[in-house]
Chain A
Amino acid sequence: GQNIDQPTEMTATEGAIVQINCTYQTSGFNGLFWYQQHAGEAPTFLSYNVLDGLEEKGRFSSFLSRSKGYSYLLLKELQMKDSASYLCAVRWGSTLGRLYFGRGTQLTVWP
């Protein structure tokens, strides 16, 4: 299985940059996802990393270090609408079907 660790809560102000970290067990790792979930809604896909390095997509970037079992999601130019829970998920094992989610990081953006 997997033990995924991410901070429970973070706060930031509009226009700022925030980095949400995620650590996981490296054994069996097969890819890492970041999802955004607004209160009362379904998760929506943000990014996917399977190789080391930074993936940039507009205001959002995601970084992966496979050897360290570490990823982060970087959100730039924060907006109020970015207030949400951010979920780190690891695809585990050779079948590719197993997905383990962290407990989520609740980000609150203040004006």
Chain B
Amino acid sequence: GENVEQHPSTLSVQEGDSAVIKCTYSDSASNYFPWYKQELGKRPQLIIDIRSNVGEKKDQRIAVTLNKTAKHFSLHITETQPEDSAVYFCAATSYGGSQGNLIFGKGTKLSVKP
């Protein structure tokens, strides 16, 4: 089955710096890769996702890149702000199949210092 590794487990940056979180997956059939942000005491919320037919996707300060050959994908946050502080989870699954389910990485706790 699918296995998703996420690094680093904690990340501390200064406000305005960039943050990068990396994930690797094992199943070459996986083709859908969402990223969720979970603030303390709140539900995980989808912030961006990418499908395997594209290599990069951007949404304002957030971008995700995908390298299918190496089976890894990364979340990039530019110009970080204190409100970006949260736990970020990557996930992978096979979109379009009824048997697929999201397999999550163990999360990265991002702290943005003012």
B and A form one assembly: no
User: Interface on A for B, CB 8 Å cutoff?
Assistant: none
